[in-house]
Structure 1
Amino acid sequence: MPSFLEAPVAGAYHLLTSLVSTLQPLTGAYAAVIAIVLCTLVVRLCLVPLSVRAHRGLKARAAMMPQLKQLTERHRGNPERLQRELAKLQSESGTTMFAGFLPTLAQLPFFWLMYTLFSRTIVAGESNQLISGSLLGAPLGVHWPIVAGTPAFLVLAVLLAVVAWFSARLQLRQLDETATPMSRRLARLLPFGTLLTAAFVPLAAGLYLLTTTAWTVVERTVLQR
């Protein structure tokens, strides 16, 4: 790992281990699990302004769909003119085609930190204390082949599937009548990608995925009201 990335990893490690030590008298063996959930909730709380902006962007984009369709049909034979007109329309509306991805992109550094912290035996020049935490008998630093021998992965997979199902329903509800069959198929299937991701990352990172996707479902439900 490049040396400039060691500083944030070490900082996150000391922060998380301090939180685990604080929680341990109250939560015992599940201190690391609770710490991961709490850190994830804090991250998502900090990203609420981005989520609100993304939601407004999606609503603005939905309102622009008739105009986007007209521009596409009008300038189908002139890609350069089409790009200029689309850029002008987005500028006037104050949104972009990628507005809905802002919260997801902002979370990537935190997911990377969680993956890194529970994938290494040595962090910040000392033995990694975090990987000794466990969930239902499975160490938080292990991957799917080992976790599958305990209830932990099954419970995680079931909960991720339930959250993905609700997420898919929300995404389908956001699509309008202009959505293509492919778009509807993707909206139905993409949320279940968290199950595939969880199979290749440490259990701690899977727990982060479960917490953040559950937050996303609740957040989108509230914002859509």
Structure 2
Amino acid sequence: MSSFMSVFASLVEHLATLLQPLFHASATAAAIVLFTAFVRLLVHPLSRAGARGQRDRLKLQPRIAELRAKHKKNPEALQKAIMELHREEKVSPLSGCLPMLCQMPAFFLLYHLFSSASIGGDPNSLLGHTLGAAPLGGRFTDALAHGGLFGAQGLVYVALFVLVAAVATFNYRRTKRQMALSAAATPASDQPQVPGMGAMAKFMPLMSFMTLFSVAYVPLAAALYIVTSTTWSAIERAALYRDMPYAGAAALPV
């Protein structure tokens, strides 16, 4: 693991060196943003496949409504029938989760890299690299301890919070709009009556704002990954799911 981390650290440093003429002291931060964009570009085919899968699942809704009516008194039979329907039509109910799952190794690798004091027995020099005045290995609590929220380090986080809040607001409005369209297009008799579903539907549009807590908790380098990936997800979903009411709008954005 340590040798793998050393290779990854060298790649980040090499990329930062290439970006140095453009971004100067923030070259490593720019390298992380570019790395995140590269990861998202690699998983984009999975995102497109997830969107196609969602379209296929939407086409099955009339048949699923029939199954609900047929098995309304037998939840186990209903679940089995729905799974069989997906299997017959070769539609995976989990295809939309693949992009997020495939990104997790890259995120945890970056998180570990900027949380480790040493790499391969040598001091981790990447921790001293900065975005503005804030070290990439530091956290929001460190920024608060060095000048407060509006100090030199705190302002870096303020800018990130503003960007995350803007993206979350965009996701919130889009999710609310698509949920309303979906509810209007589906007869009340066809909508599943699941205990707690009403509360979940109210909470779901707010999930994008949870990213604010993630940015505040992880090292700044990992926070840059989250912010970049979240922004990418918002744009990507708006494009891929533009003609599908509610579909995929409230999925986690990382």
Question: TM-score, normalised to structure 2's length?
Answer: 0.80
| Structure 2 match to 1:159 | 163
- Residue of 209, 217, 222 corresponding to 2:226: 209
Q: Deviations over 1:105-127 (max 9, x none)?
A: 11111110111111111013322
Structure 1 segment 55-204 matched on structure 2, within 5 A: 55-148=51-144, 149=148, 150-175=154-179, 176-177=182-183, 178=186, 181-204=198-221
Q: 1:12 to 1:172 in 2, by over 3 A?
A: farther
Partner of 1:16: 12
Unaligned runs of at least 5 residues, structure 2: 149-153, 192-196, 243-254
- Quick one: percent identity of the two aligned structures? 38
Q: CA deviation at 1:212?
A: 0.4
Label 1:6 to 1:186 Cα distance change in 2 as closer, same or farther (>3 A): farther
The CA deviation string for residues 38-96 of structure 1, in whole angstroms up to 9 with x for no partner, is 00000000011000011112222223233323323322333442232111211233322
Hey, what's the Cα distance between the residues in 1 that align with 2:58 and 2:204? 16
1:77 is aligned with what amino acid? K
Mapped partners of 1:169, 1:9: distance in 2: 40
| TM-aligned CA distance change 1:142 to 1:190, over 3 Å | same
Q: How many residues end up aligned between the 2 structures?
A: 221
Give the distance between the partners of 1:113 and 1:146, measured in 2 at CA.
Answer: 22
Q: Are the counterparts in 2 of residues 172 and 184 from structure 1 also a CA contact under 8 Å?
A: no
Question: What's the TM-score once normalised by structure 1's chain length?
Answer: 0.89
CA distance in 1, matches of 2:223, 2:44: 22
2:26/2:132 contact within 8 Å kept: no
**Aligned position for 2:240:** 223
**Stretch moving more, 157-166 or 20-29:** 20-29
What's the secondary structure of 1:170's corresponding residue? helix
Structure 1 residues 58 and 186, CA gap change in structure 2 (3 angstroms):
farther
Distance in 2, matches of 1:37 and 1:157, equals: 16
